[in-house]
Structure 1
C-alpha cells in the first residue's frame, strides 16, 4: 500500500486537533459561537472548540482605551471654539456579550454623546467661563456617556477636556487685551517709581537748601563775631568804633582784590577803584545807620505822645 495513503488520515486528524485549539491573550475576551449562535465567552488562556461547528466570532479588548474627540461649538458670547475631549473607557468583563452584540461601533456611539453634551453645555457659558469651568464640562460629559453606555457593558473611566482652542481672530484679540493690561500695569509701576524719584529728589534738594541756608547763616554769624572781636581789639588800642570800621572795610577791600588777582586765567575786568571808595561806602552806611536811628527815636516819641493823649481822653 502507498505510504502516502496511510499518511493522509493522520494529517487530517492533526488538522482537526489543531483547528480546535485557540488561545486568548491577557486582558482580552473571545466570543465563541456554535453554528452561528452565541455559545460562550472565553477568558485568557488555552481553549478548545469543536472544529467546523464552533468559531471565534470576535475578540473584545478589556484594557482601558482612549478616544479623542474634537468638537467645534459656539459660546454664549458668540465665539466659536474647538474643544478636544479625551474619553477613557473599558468593557466590563462580565458584560462582554452586551458590548459585542449590542453595539456595532462603540467609538461612533461615544463620539455622538460627546458632541451632544458639549454642544449642550458650552453655549450656556461665555468664553472665559469655558476656560474656568472646563472640569464641570468634563463631569457633564462623563455623566452623560456613563448613563448611556453602561447598559452596553461599557464603563467610562474618565472624561477630560484637554484643549480649548478659540477662533484665531479671538485669540489674537485676547493676546492684545492681555498685552495692553500688562502695559497698563507696567505704566502704573513706572509712574509710581517716577513719583518716588521726584519726591526723593525734592526732599534731597530741600534738605540741601536747608543745610546751605544754615551754612550761610553760620558763616555770617562767624563773620559778625569776627568783626565784633576786631572792633573790640582796636578799641583797646585807642581806635574808636568808626575808625575801626573803616580800617576793617579797607582791609577786606584789599583782601578781595588780592584773592581775585591770584587766578591768572580769570576773565574778570577790574574797573578803576580806590581805597577812598571803601571809605565813602562806609560813610554812607554810617549816615544811613544814624538816620535810621533818628527816625526810630522820633517814631517812639510820637507813639508815646499818642498813648499819653489817649490816656488823658480815657480819664475824662
Structure 2
C-alpha cells in the first residue's frame, strides 16, 4: 500500500512538472538550422543537440548556449612596421566558423571547445593575427608588402588557423584588404610615381621626334635623288633637242654663228611668250620702241661673245 502511494506521488509530481514545463516552455525546444545547443544538467555538461525538435527535463536541464555554425567575419585595424622603418596601417578581414568536427567524444568537438575553452574568441583571434603580422611584416620593405600582401595573408592564415583550432574554431581566410600609409610617405610615393611617368613620357616623345626626323630626312633624301634624276633627264632632253635643232638649221646652209644667233633669238622669244602666259610679276620693263627689241637681241649676242672671249686664255 505504501509503495502504491509513493508511486502515485511520483507520478503526480511528474505530471505537475510536465504541465509546468509545457506552460512555461521549459520542456520542448527547437534548434534552428546551422546551430547547435549545449545542454547542461544540474550545471554540468550533458549533451549537444543539433537542428530539430528536442525535449529536456524542466528545471533539471537547461540550454547553456546556442552556438552558431555559420561562417562569420570580423575586421581588424593593425599597425605594423616594415623593414625600411615605415609604420603602416593594415585593414585585415578574417572569416571563421566553429569547427564542424565532432571528435570521439562531445568534449573533443568544436562546439564544446568554442564554448568552454575560450571566453572571447574574437579578441583572441585578433591577438594571434596581430602577433603573426608583426612577426612577418618587418622582413619586407614597403614595396614588397604591396607586392606580396596576398602571400603574407596566406602565411598568417596558416599560422593562426593552427592556433585557433585548439579552441574549436576554423579560420577560413585572412585577407589584407587595405594598406594605409602615413601622409608624408604617400605624398613622396606619389611624387616619385609622377616623376617616373614624366620621364617615361619625355622618353617616348623624344623617341617619336627622332623617328619623325629620320623619316623626314629619308623622305627628303629620296625626293632630292628623284629631283636630281629628273633635272638630269631634263637637261639631257634639252641638250638633245638643241643638238637636233642646230643640225636641222645647218642643213639649210646657214653658218654656225648665224645658226647659234638664230637659236638664241628663238629661245628668247619663247621665253617672253612663256613669261606673258605664266609670269607672276605685275610689271615688265620693255623697250619703248618695238624695233629696239633687235638691239636687245644684239646685246645678248655681244654679251655671250664677251663671255666666251673672257673664258679663252690669252696667247703669250
Which TM-score bucket, shorter chain as reference? 0.7 to 0.9
Q: What residue ranges of structure 1 are gaps of 5+ in the alignment? A: 1-8, 299-316
The residue that corresponds to 1:308 in the other structure is: none
CA positional deviation for 1:270:
2.8
Q: How many residues are treated as equivalent by the alignment?
A: 286
Unaligned 5+ residue runs, structure 2? Answer: 1-13, 103-108, 288-294
Deviation at 1:182, TM superposition (A): 2.5
Between the aligned partners of 2:308 and 2:261, the Cα distance in structure 1 is 10
Structure-2 separation of matches of 1:156 and 1:214:
84
Q: In the alignment, does 2:128 pair up with 1:131?
A: no
2:301 is aligned with 1:279: yes
Q: 2 CA distance for matches of 1:264 and 1:278?
A: 21
- Aligned pairs for 1:61-210 (under 5 A) are 61-93=68-100, 94=102, 95=109, 96-210=111-225
Among 19, 22, 33, which residue is 1:14 paired with? 19
Q: 1:224 — aligned with what?
A: 239
**TM-score normalised by the chain length of structure 1:** 0.81
Q: Structure 1 stretch 276-285 or stretch 56-65: which is displaced more?
A: 276-285
- Structure 2 counterpart of 1:255, from 258, 267, 270: 270
CA-CA distance at 1:167 after TM superposition = 2.5
Counterpart residue number, 1:31: 38
Quickly say closer, same or farther: Cα 1:52–1:69, change in 2 above 3 A: same
Partner of 1:51: 58
Partner secondary structure for residue 278 of structure 1: helix
Per-residue deviation, 1:10 = 8.7
**CA–CA distance in 1 between the matches of 2:56 and 2:62?**
7
SS of alignment partner, residue 63 of structure 1: coil
- Residue 33 of structure 2 aligns to a residue in which SS? coil
Q: Secondary structure of 2:80's partner?
A: strand
Write the distance in 2 (CA, Å) between the matches of 1:281 and 1:120.
103
Find the counterpart in structure 2 of residue 304 from structure 1: none
> What is the root-mean-square deviation of aligned Cα atoms in Å?
2.6
Q: Mean Cα displacement is larger for which, 36-45 or 125-134?
A: 36-45
Check conservation: 2:113, 2:168, Cα contact below 8 A: yes
